Structure 1
Amino acid sequence: MLIQVNDVRLFVDVANSGLVPDGKGMREKPTLLMLHGGPGFDHTGFKEAFTSLADVAQVIFYDHRGNGRSEGDDPTAWNLGQWADDVKGLCDALGIVRPIVCGLSFGGFVAQAYATRYPDHPGKLILLSTAAKIDFPTIFATFARIGGPEIGALAESYWLNPTAEGRARYLKECVPFYRHRRDQPPADFSRVIMRTEVALHFNGPHNEHGRFDFRPDLANLRCPVLLMAGEHDPIIPLPLVEATAAAIPAHLLRFERLIGCGHDIHGDAPETVFGTIRAFLADEPSATGAEGRTPKLADRRSRPEPSQP
């Protein structure tokens, strides 16, 4: 369905009911708002996996402005500030109070923009394979370490000069290294609606991708935060995630460092990732907004797991 949000209509899909029978009464599940990666993609790439959380939350997917099935053809509005305002606007339009906002990769950039602009709005924040600031030389070096010098050079060529042709080659040859487990197939984009022009507008060190830095503002967060990242992630290398963790108030943070995982942590270690998210959803925040336990920095060693939870 299309929902009017600010000056455009966003495509929104609700996976399940939020109000469910529970004995002789009704129980309201928390709302989990999913922010997809990209930009230039849509929500379908992670829909099947994250719908598995429907038993513990009402899961809502949508396409960012200018992406997928959503409206928004004005390039001047393809920026993190507008995408963040759209998160708040969508919640207002749907009457969602204290949402649990989950951002994956680029969706995590949007989630940070939203949470730092509206720190009193989210109930909880889940950041998966994302960072508060991007350092491209670190990305190039990590691609070369994980995929070899040719893959490192190809990644550098695309990100330094984003073109449609370079993006097509990057998706074919570099993206398979987003998943660390080589016994599993890479992400399948056959169902995804691609908006290459949005990616080219945002991507690279000379565009907003290389300019944003949420680290100073993360200190103002007021809700519990779950941050998860793979140690073999080439596009969001672990040192960038660790710097993000250091910028978040320690009493709000749960940081899971996943050993044996790449960028697609929910594909490399689904049982670990979804088990951790379920535990985070079940935690009741204290009166000060922090979770009811000490801050956690964890290394998780992933076991061989099925590719779907």
Structure 2
Amino acid sequence: MRIQIKPNIRLFVDIEGAGLVPDGPVMREKPTLILLHGGPGYDHVSFKPAFSQLTDIAQIVYYDHRGHGRSDPRPSHELTLDYFADDIVRLCDALGISKPIVLGQSFGGFVAQRYIARHPAHASRVVLSSTAATLSLVRKLAMFEQLGGTAARDAAERFWLAPNESTWPEYKRLCKPLYTQTKAANNHAAQRATFKPDILFTWANSEQQEMNLLPGLAQAQCPVLVLAGELDPVCTLADAQDIAKALPQQWAQLATFTACGHGVWRDAPEAAFAQLRKFIMA
């Protein structure tokens, strides 16, 4: 379904699980988990079906960022982290959600970091999954070389220095398969996704090049769990460690996973979802 968050702006939203459930003699309200997908240019379907297993403890809200996937198209000047972050609040207002748990994966983690800076008292908890606060090109290139040799490193360098339709095919062929260690899951997710490459190229050429989200993390006013795979080439372990250090230490939690890449629940689902359950239910 499409939910109107402002006049003439609708986001595609899918909701899984009841929010109010019978519990003996009372009705118990479960927390709402809002999932912010990666990209830019992709949609929410990479979370499905894996996150369905959390519906026993949370109501799950999937949505496509403005201009993405099945949400209404929007002009490129609106496709910025400020707009995306504010949309979380607009969507919660439209759906009557108070104190959500917000999980941002990769690019969704960029959005969640900006959300922390702009709306620090809005969430009850935040998960920053396989994400970074800056472009961190040197770290990316080193990890792509470690996992895929000089060919992958060179393809990554060409793409991230000039994200466009000519550098993308080689990056997609040589670098994208290195994102995760579980290749079948990665391929299936790519096949299911709605991809708008113009959004990727526009955003990666502009806001991402100079992005620095670290200062805003000091505004956090709730627990923040940082999830990182030690073999993530695009949002490296060192990036996750920088994020954890930038958060107020009373709120920061860092969980790292060996032999895991980008989106740790793909490579180590049992351990990753156990960590998420513990955090959600704390």
Name the structure 2 match of 1:299. none
CA drift of 1:196 comes to: 0.8
- SS of 2:13's partner is strand
Q: What is the match of residue 235 of structure 1? A: 234
Residue pair 2:114, 2:216 contacting (<8 A) in 1 also = no
Stretches of structure 1 that go unaligned for 5 or more consecutive residues are: 284-309
In structure 1, the residue matched to 2:48 is 47
Change (3 A) 1:11 1:181: closer
For the pair 1:78 / 2:97, whether they are aligned, the reply is no
Q: Is residue 104–residue 112 contact of structure 2 (8 Å, CA) maintained in 1?
A: yes
1:247 aligns to what? 246
Query: Which residue of structure 1 aligns with residue 164 of structure 2?
Result: 163
Partner of 1:223: 222
Aligned partner of residue 254 in structure 2, secondary structure: strand
Aligned length: 280
Superposed structure 1 runs of 4+ greater than 3 Å apart: none
Counterpart contact for 1:47–1:61, Cα < 8 Å: no
Paired residues of 2:116 and 2:219 also in contact (CA < 8 A): no
Asked whether 1:103 is paired with 2:128, we answer: no
Q: Percent identity?
A: 42
2:277 corresponds to: 278
Does residue 264 of structure 2 align to residue 262 of structure 1? no
* Conserved 8 A contact 2:113-2:216: no
Q: TM-score scaled to structure 2, two decimals?
A: 0.96
Compared with structure 1, are the counterparts of its residues 159 and 109 closer, same or farther at alpha carbon in structure 2 (3 Å cutoff)? same
- Post-superposition CA distance 1:21-79 (Å, at most 9, x none): 11222111000000000010000112211121111100000000111000133000011
Work out the CA distance in 1 between the residues paired with 2:265 and 2:231: 13
Mapped pair 1:175 → 2:176: yes
| TM-score (norm. length: structure 1) | 0.87
Structure 2 residue 31 is matched with structure 1 residue 26: no
Which residue identity lines up with residue 168 of structure 2 in the other structure?
Answer: R
Aligned to 1:287: none
Following superposition, the deviation at residue 181 of structure 1 comes to 4.5
By how many angstroms is 1:160 displaced? Answer: 1.1
Name the counterpart of 1:298: none
Deviation of 1:191 after TM superposition, in Å, equals 1.5
Please list, as runs of the form range in 1=range in 2, the aligned pairs for 1:2-17 lying within 5 A after superposition. Answer: 2-7=2-7, 8-17=9-18
**CA distance, structure 1, for counterparts of residue 194 and residue 85 of structure 2:** 21
Which residue type is aligned with residue 167 of structure 1? W
> Following TM superposition, by how much is the alpha carbon of 1:172 offset from its aligned partner in structure 2, in angstroms?
3.0
Q: Report the AA paired with residue 57 of structure 2.
A: V
Q: How far is 1:169 from its partner? A: 3.2
Q: Deviations over 1:257-277 (max 9, x none)?
A: 111111131111001110000
Q: Distance in 2 between matches of 1:115 and 1:97?
A: 15
Mapped to 2, the partners of 1:111 and 1:17 lie a distance apart of: 24
Which is richer in helix? 2
| Unaligned residue ranges in structure 2 (runs of 5+) | none
**Does the 8 Å CA contact 2:103/2:128 hold for their aligned counterparts?**
yes
Q: CA deviation at 1:185?
A: 4.8
Structure 2 CA distance for aligned equivalents of residues 64 and 220 of structure 1: 23
1:113-162 deviation per Cα after TM superposition (whole angstroms, max 9, x unaligned):
11110001011001100122221122112111111100111111111111
Distance 2:185 2:269 in 1: 14
